[in-house]
Amino acid sequence: MRLVLLVLGLVASFSVVAQSARESGSQLRGAANGLLATALETRVLGLQTAADDPNVVPPVSPVAPAVSSFYQQRGYQPVWTEASRLKELINALESLTEDGLDPEDYSINFLRQMHELLDAGRRPLVSELVEWELMATNAYLRALYHLFNGKVDPAGLDPQWNFELHELAPELVASLMNDGVNSRQIAKSFAQTRPQHPAYTSLQAGLRRYREFAAQGGWFALPAGPTLKPCMVDPQVAQLRQRLQVTGEYQPVAEAERQEALAKCLAANAKSSASALAQVNTSEATSAAASSEAGYALDPAVSTELGAQLENGITSASSSAASSVQPVDPDEMFDEYLVAAVKQFQRDQYLEDDGAVGPATRAALNISAHARVEQIRVNLDRARWLLHNIPEQLLLVDIAGFKVTYYKGGREVWKSRVQVGMSYRTTPIFKSEVNYITLNPTWTVPPTILRKDILPKLRKDLSYLREHKIRVLDSSGNQLDPATIDWSRPGNITLRQDAGDDAALGKAVIRFPNPYAVYLHDTPHQKLFHKSQRAFSSGCIRVERALELVELLLEETPGWDEAAIGKTLATGKTRNVTLAKRVPIMLAYWTVDAISESKVAFKPDIYARDAAVLSALNQRVSQPLIQINEES
């Protein structure tokens, strides 16, 4: 009898699913009076009631309202009792690997078992059929939520996080789910939920590429050794060439071109060695003896064989001298083509592109393909946090990339280098709106900098205040004589630096409301912008060419063109200028950049945040355990 009831319920279910999706819920419910639909309605309503009750322990999944809405829209008709439809869901869930997500988080093995039963014409027990249905729906729904907002909760990892994740209303997501079910295009529902941003597509392409590297065995690590420099001859150079050929920075060169590059390096090495030898031969005997005793060495770029011959009397780079040198393996010569490949690699790793392989470049080269895959997965989840509904006008600070970009009308209109907070005084991650700009700013020393940086200096020498044009103020703003203060216990004082060419904040400050006292500003520390990694500040963002950005931000503020800004700066007086229209600003952190449709670049994880995100991303989502039993 139980089997008969099940068959009757399934027949009723399949007939209802075949009806037009436009039929009203009441019509669907009228046709769905089988046992399965009734049991499903009871179970779903129970879930919704439990979700509304805060005293229920353990708490019901927050997706329960969406599950309820999904089945209400269907008149509580089951979805996954048809093998072909369940297979669509399985295929879509398997595709989540392209997003850096793990299908195991979405009951994939259980669903595969259920599909095998359905495909073989068998069914689970009636008492289990509803739980099976809900598990499949829950997997579908969870995948949509993870694609939209990320699997990892960023607020749980960063107390400074204030980005609002865009909500998927239960009715909206239920409609999206039903559209995918009724049109038999569940994969399309997933595609519509992913961030619709080119950067996300690029990260997906990067993930595929580095997974291919990993599947092919990745690459070997360069062993410890000396810094490899242009025109150096060393067995490790051949290994370096092979390593960069794997990831594509080095492309094979025609033999004639390689021989020409080899000859250039041999001549350069010979000239360098001859010059060094000449200096030894023309020095005073005592100096030469002293150099010998001190272990005088030729230029390290010279090969051992070439150097030995030069020491024995070869002092020119003539063709006859070069011909007497033992042949050099072109693979072991750090030629101009390999230099270009190293520089490209360094640029893609946010390293100084000097063409030499020192400790930092060697460390980046030795990061495994698997580690790069995990790094991209982490940043795909970050992309799901941030890339929905990006405003067309935006000031974006890329903290790990040490750069700021201004977008207007959805286009990049300006970009510059920045300096950000040190690892122990990190620049926070948050969003706000630029509301005003200070020209010729004074600088009020923050309490942390006062306590940790300036007070120790003042206890040694009070002239620091005069040299940096810093005044001491009491709580009422009255100026105090520094000599009258006990600097071991200064009490409630404020240090304020006057505006000027050498002021800490430069000529302008770009301000936006936030609880961290963080802002963008000009700086006299211009030389630091030439460093490849620029975590030098105490948390605020120092901007190169800051006055250009000020001019752009004030474009829509009447009376504040370039001439007016320049005139105000010339007075030396502090002036606040309120923007006529606030500009959204985001301070964000990610460690993989989308360079093109198929290329990504990797940044150093300057604040060591990737590991926590990866751990949360790899944590298995708990699933209710349902034992599959077949009816006899």
| Strand, coil or helix: 539 | coil
Query: What angle, 0 to 180 degrees and rounded to 10, lies between the N-to-C axes of helices 369-386 and 126-149?
Result: 90
- What single-letter DSSP state applies at residue 395? E
Q: What is d(CA 451, CA 458) in angstroms, rounded to the nearest whole number?
A: 11
Q: Which residues pair with 398 in a beta bridge?
A: 403, 588
Q: What is d(CA 69, CA 485) in angstroms, rounded to the nearest whole number?
A: 69
Look at residue 315 and tell me whether its pLDDT is greater than 70: no
Q: What is d(CA 90, CA 82) in angstroms, rounded to the nearest whole number?
A: 13
Give me the pLDDT at residue 289, please.
42
Look at residue 211 and tell me whether its pLDDT is greater than 90: yes
What are the tens digits of pLDDT across the range 418-434?
Answer: 999 999 899 999 999 99
| Long-range CB contact pairs, 112-117, < 8 A, 24+ | 113/628, 114/80, 114/86, 114/628, 115/83, 115/86, 115/87, 115/90, 117/628, 117/630
> Pick from 40, 13, 22, 66: which is nearest to 179 by CA?
22
Average pLDDT score over the chain: 83
Q: Which residues pair with 371 in a beta bridge?
A: none
What are the tens digits of pLDDT across the range 452-510?
Answer: 889 999 998 899 999 999 999 998 889 999 999 999 888 889 999 999 888 999 999 99
Give me the pLDDT at residue 598, please.
79
CA 408 from chain centre, in angstroms, equals 22
- What single-letter DSSP state applies at residue 283? S
Q: What is d(CA 427, CA 429) in angstroms, rounded to the nearest whole number?
A: 7
How does residue 54 score in pLDDT terms, banded at 50, 70 and 90? low
Give me the pLDDT at residue 340, please.
96
Residues in CB range of 171: below 8 A, 6 or more apart: 69
Higher pLDDT pick, 577 / 127: 577
CA 485 from chain centre, in angstroms, equals 47
Rounded to 10 degrees, the C-alpha dihedral 72/78/83/89 comes to 30
Lowest mean pLDDT among 260-269, 318-327, 444-453: 318-327
How would you classify the pairing of strands 430-439 and 541-543? unpaired
| Strand, coil or helix: 626 | coil
- Is the separation of the CB atoms in 540 and 427 below 8 Å? yes
Q: What is d(CA 375, CA 384) in angstroms, rounded to the nearest whole number?
A: 15
**DSSP, residue by residue, 124-171:** B-HHHHHHHHHHHHHHHHHHHHHHHH-SS-GGGT-TT--PPPPP--HH
Query: What angle, 0 to 180 degrees and rounded to 10, lies between the N-to-C axes of helices 198-215 and 369-386?
Result: 160
Look at residue 363 and tell me whether its pLDDT is greater than 60: yes
Look at residue 44 and tell me whether its pLDDT is greater than 50: yes
Stretch 36-54: mean pLDDT: 76
Stretch 364-386: mean pLDDT: 97
Give me the pLDDT at residue 90, please.
97
| Strand, coil or helix: 219 | coil
Residues in CB range of 145: below 8 A, 6 or more apart: 63, 168, 173
Give me the pLDDT at residue 279, please.
59
Q: What is d(CA 155, CA 65) in angstroms, rounded to the nearest whole number?
A: 23
Cis peptide before 490 (omega within 30 of 0): no
What are the tens digits of pLDDT across the range 102-138?
Answer: 999 999 999 999 999 888 888 767 667 888 889 999 9
**CB neighbour class for 502 (10 Å; exposed up to 12, middle 13-18, buried from 19):** exposed
Hey, what are 47's tokens?
Answer: 């879930």
Look at residue 57 and tell me whether its pLDDT is greater than 50: no
For tokens 């009871």, what's the residue? 42
Per-residue three-class SS string for 20-75: CCCCCHHHHHHHCCCHHHHHHHHHHHHHHHHHHCCCCCCCCCCCHHHHHHHHHHCC
Q: What is d(CA 208, CA 237) in angstroms, rounded to the nearest whole number?
A: 29
